[in-house]
Amino acid sequence: MPRLDRLDDTMLRGAQLVMQIMAKKMELNANLDKERKRAGSVIAKDSIGNGGTGMGGGQQVHFQQFSHNAEKARKSKERNDWFTDLAHGKPLAVLARKPPFFRKKEDALEYLCDYKVPVARALWFLKLIAVGGQGCSSNVNKQKKSTNDQLASEFASLFTKYVKLMLNQMSDSAKLESNIVYTERWPHFVYICKHAYEDGMVEKQEFLMDLLDIFNDRFVQPIENRQNDKSSVHPLVHHGSGLASSSNESHYVTLFRLFLLFICQYTDQITQNLVLSKRCAFLVCHRLELYRDEAEEREGRSVDCAELFDDMQQCIHQRGIILTLCGMLYAILIDCPAALIWNKYEVSPGRPPTMLHQLCGSPLDHLPCPFESLPLPPGHGTERLQEFVQLRLSEVRRRSRACENKWSLNYAQKKGFGSFIF
């Protein structure tokens, strides 16, 4: 048994030994890098001196490339075997002994989707690599946050970055039906992301705010902006009164429908935040306004929005989009009516950040038709829903008038009296 009065000396001596080992390791790594650079320069000089045809230099270069490719193939096989075991239920305690290392965490999500790893085991792996990478993090700003907050923020950024990456990959594809991102990776990623959100791994407000940014940048843009922006999706081509997209155009409708189905899963979470609800309602109303403007530009005359939305419901490609947009707007009206109340603030649309303009006024200012003209999803209870919607709309109008009158019952009389005095 060690003596208690010598524990401090023992810990100090152990810390000194660890520091000596780390210093020696760094010195050996530095010397090894120098030797590798020196050997590489010698091989390059030999190959240049022999004109690239000499037997000695050529064999060295080919052997070096072969050894590098062989090592890469060996690591790739080990990684594939590891994810196969993870997907097939091998004990996690065994897999945790030698987990694979990824320089980019997006590649880890790609492996999880390709191997169809079950959601619970996929979340375990994401937590494992996140905790393992904490020792490499030295950002001073990140250290101001707690470890859980930092990891949640990193996961929010990771998921939204991967959403953008997959949307770009699908939009650049010539045929979606043969694209592995569309057929396999996206559906599995949606499940992983939803369960990670519910598990508390993701910083919720940051994640939802980033999703609304993607909604604004990719799908709430006029046609001319989408044509000029190569990274964005291309416009639709409408034929006659139908709203089906051309097969020669990019997959705007399909990607928009996929993204709406993804973000509408978090509608109940969006309606719990006033800022998120106001932004989401603004984007939905602005998207509906753009549908009206594009139809008028195409037809060369004013268009009745009720007829336009009815035509969209008849189209198999657009039906899901218009019903989802209107459903999200109805949810915001019912669960968070304060997001639709008018305010007197004004910010120009081009002033950064764009979120400021989206929070000014009321989102209903951009709605191209009366709220009552929006299509309702079919099903039971439509009449009761309409009655509840009317109650909420009257509440929004009443509170908007109170805000305009600065919550004064006789604001008009006071204003007239003030102008008379002055």
Taking the C-alpha atoms of residue 422 and residue 410, their distance in angstroms, rounded to an integer, is 19
Closest CA to 121 of 163, 79, 83: 83
What is the 3-class SS of the chain, one letter each residue? CCCHHHHHHHHHHHHHHHHHHHHHHHHHHHHHHHHHHHHHHHHHHHHHHCCCCCHHHHHHHHHHHHHHHHHHHHHHHHHHHHHHHHHCCCCHHHHCCCCCCCCCHHHHHHHHHHCCCCHHHHHHHHHHHHHHCHHHCCCHHHHCCCHHHHHHHHHHHHHHHHHHHHHHHHHCCCCHHHCHHHHHHHHHHHHHHHHHHHCCCCCHHHHHHHHHHHHHHHHCCCHHHHHHCCCCCCCCCCCCCCCCCCCCCCCHHHHHHHHHHHHHHHHHHHCCCHHHHHHHHHHHHHHHHHHHHHHHHHHCCCCCHHHHHHHHHHCCCCHHHHHHHHHHHHHHHHHCHHHHCCCCCCCCCCCCCHHHHHCCCCHHHHCCCCHHHCCCCCCCCHHHHHHHHHHHHHHHHHHHHHHHCCCCCCHHHHHHHHHHHC
Taking the C-alpha atoms of residue 289 and residue 312, their distance in angstroms, rounded to an integer, is 14
Taking the C-alpha atoms of residue 265 and residue 183, their distance in angstroms, rounded to an integer, is 20
Residues contacting residue 128 through CB under 8 Å, at least 6 positions apart: 96, 99
Taking the C-alpha atoms of residue 1 and residue 11, their distance in angstroms, rounded to an integer, is 15
Taking the C-alpha atoms of residue 33 and residue 355, their distance in angstroms, rounded to an integer, is 49
For the chain, the distance separating the N- and C-terminal CA atoms, rounded to the nearest angstrom, is: 93
Mean pLDDT of 57-69: 46
Is the four-CA dihedral 208, 210, 213, 218 of positive or negative sign? negative
Q: Domain segments of the chain: what residues? A: 76-135+142-202, 229-422
pTM equals 0.74
Q: What is the model's pLDDT at position 378?
A: 75
Q: Between residues 56 and 165, which one has the greater pLDDT? A: 165
Of 23-27, 229-233, 409-413, the one with minimum mean pLDDT is: 229-233
The yes-or-no verdict on residue 372 having pLDDT over 50 is yes
Of 191-200, 206-215, 343-352, the one with minimum mean pLDDT is: 343-352
* pLDDT band per the 50, 70, 90 thresholds, residue 55: very low
Q: What is the model's pLDDT at position 168?
A: 93
Mean pLDDT of 340-364: 87
pLDDT mean across residues, the chain? 80
Q: Is 164 exposed, middle or buried (0-12, 13-18, 19+ CB in 10 A)?
A: middle
Tokens at residue 19, please? 């520091």
Q: Between residues 240 and 89, which one has the greater pLDDT? A: 89
Taking the C-alpha atoms of residue 343 and residue 353, their distance in angstroms, rounded to an integer, is 19
